[in-house]
Amino acid sequence: MNRRDTLKLLGAAVATAAAPVSLVRPALAQAKPFVLPPLGYPYEALEPHIDTATMNFHHRNHHNAFITNLNGLVDKYADLSSKPPEEILSNLTAVPEAVRTPVRNNLGGHWNHVFFWDMMTPGGAKQPSGDLKNAIDGVFGDVDKMKAALKAAALGRFGSGWAWLAVGKDKKLAIFNTPYQDTPHMDQGAGAVIGIDVWEHAYYLKHQYRRGDYVDAWWNVVNWDKAAANFKRAAM
């Protein structure tokens, strides 16, 4: 190898070594404070009640879209990565108007979905018990009547949204629905006990237009232990 060849090789090595450095642009170093939290169970764990494909798309695509959007909003609204989501969602008028709607939709969507994944479990308790059951019986008559009221709220939400059993500001259990990705504490100031996503993406692959069938199937995977803990916290 003569000297010219050696220089050529060195030149190639320098060019190769330099290439990755040039890829480290400030945009790549930008903080991404929001991450998609893992489900506490596999995608297929809620079969046959909630199907694997729906869980997969719902978590990896629909929920993840909120995460991507939130990371894109952090530069425009720094509080997003420092304040608790509940604090922001409870007082949206404090959010600058320029980003208020995307914060409402994406932070609301993120909060709702984290709540929803925790709200479901394979092989959990099949009925409420203890203080939660007593409160349900006191307000609705019995658990079946509460379920019927929640189903009515789910079916009564025109278009996309959520149906909730929640503890209101008056500390009483109530059922209502919210549009889009609005959260229970956003307008009602309520503490969610259980909540069901009634966007079509939550049921269309398995049930198509039959939202009621999805609600009926969903009761089989409700995590009543989690609901009891939510109730205890919200009722304090």
- Toward Mn ion, which CB reaches closer, 109 or 128? 109
The SS3 assignment for 135 reads helix
Q: What are phi and psi of 195, to 5 degrees?
A: -150, 140
In angstroms, the Cα distances linking 80 to 16, 94, 97, 185 are 39, 12, 14, 17
Question: Taking the complex as a whole, how short is the minimal distance between the CB of residue 24 and Mn ion, in angstroms?
Answer: 36
Instruction: For residue 196, give the nearest of 155, 231, 163, 229 by alpha carbon.
Output: 163
Q: Tell me which stretch binds Mn ion (CB under 5 A): 2-10, 38-46, 177-185, 198-206.
A: 198-206
Residue nearest to Mn ion (CB): 197
CA distance 10 to 15: 9
- Toward Mn ion, which CB reaches closer, 43 or 199? 199
Question: Taking the complex as a whole, how short is the minimal distance between the CB of residue 13 and Mn ion, in angstroms?
Answer: 51
Residues 6+ apart with CB under 8 A from 63: 36, 109, 110, 113
Site string for Mn ion, 37-76 (x = CB under 5 A): -------------------------x--------------
182 binds Mn ion (CB under 5 A): no
**Token pair of 55 as six digits:** 């869980």
- Toward Mn ion, which CB reaches closer, 77 or 115? 115
- Toward Mn ion, which CB reaches closer, 199 or 224? 199
197 binds Mn ion (CB under 5 A): yes
Cβ–Cβ contacts within 10 Å for residue 110, how many? 24
Instruction: For residue 172, give the nearest of 148, 198, 146 by alpha carbon.
Output: 146
Question: Taking the complex as a whole, how short is the minimal distance between the CB of residue 54 and Mn ion, in angstroms?
Answer: 10
Question: Taking the complex as a whole, how short is the minimal distance between the CB of residue 162 and Mn ion, in angstroms?
Answer: 9
CA distance 155 to 41: 28
Number of residues that bind Mn ion (CB under 5 A): 3
- Toward Mn ion, which CB reaches closer, 107 or 132? 107
- Toward Mn ion, which CB reaches closer, 182 or 197? 197
**Token pair of 122 as six digits:** 């394979």
- Which residues bind to Mn ion, rule: CB under 5 A? 62, 197, 199
